[in-house]
Amino acid sequence: MKKRKFLIAGIVLFAAIGFLAVMAFRGAAMYSYTVSELLEKGDAVLGQTVKASGEVAPGSVSYEPDNILKFVITEGGNQLPVVYQGVVPDTFVESNEVTVEGQLDTSGIFQARTIMPKCASKYEPE
């Protein structure tokens, strides 16, 4: 009888841990789109938190008051305007690859919450 209670408690505990792990993974899993893929999705991704990657278009970066950064990322001939408010990583530069995380709004502007510039594979002195 005592072994049976221990076994049932173990199964319930194992099921609870498994459920929590699945729910945590589901919340953390996020698909990353290229600019072209994101624009093809259109209204299907409006309001959803997604990642988009592309190259920062030369001449598109502008800094505005209140730590607002505006820029455009390009990929495959498509362009996606991005607005970000926050601390800009040191490795964020024009013509560099970047991944942004946030939401596409109804006006077609990507409201980024996170900017992740791609680091150079090797650093060379200027």
Residue-wise over 41-76: b if at least 16 C-beta within 10 A, else e?
eeeebeeeebbbbbbbbeeebeeeeeeebebbbbbe
Q: How far is CA 111 from the centre of its chain?
A: 11
| 16-74: pLDDT as tens digits | 888 887 777 665 556 788 998 988 888 888 888 899 999 999 999 999 888 899 999 99
Place of tokens 């408690």: 9
Q: How far is CA 121 from the centre of its chain?
A: 21
Would you say 101 and 111 are in contact if contact means Cβ atoms under 8 Å apart?
A: no
Lowest mean pLDDT among 5-19, 47-61, 77-91: 5-19
Dist CA 8 CA 87 (whole Å)? 50
User: What is residue 31's DSSP assignment?
Assistant: -
Q: CA separation (Å) from 118 to 43, 73, 99? A: 28, 13, 8
Entry pTM: 0.71
Helix (H) or strand (E) holding 53: strand 49-56
Average pLDDT score, the chain:
85
Radius of gyration of the chain (CA): 21
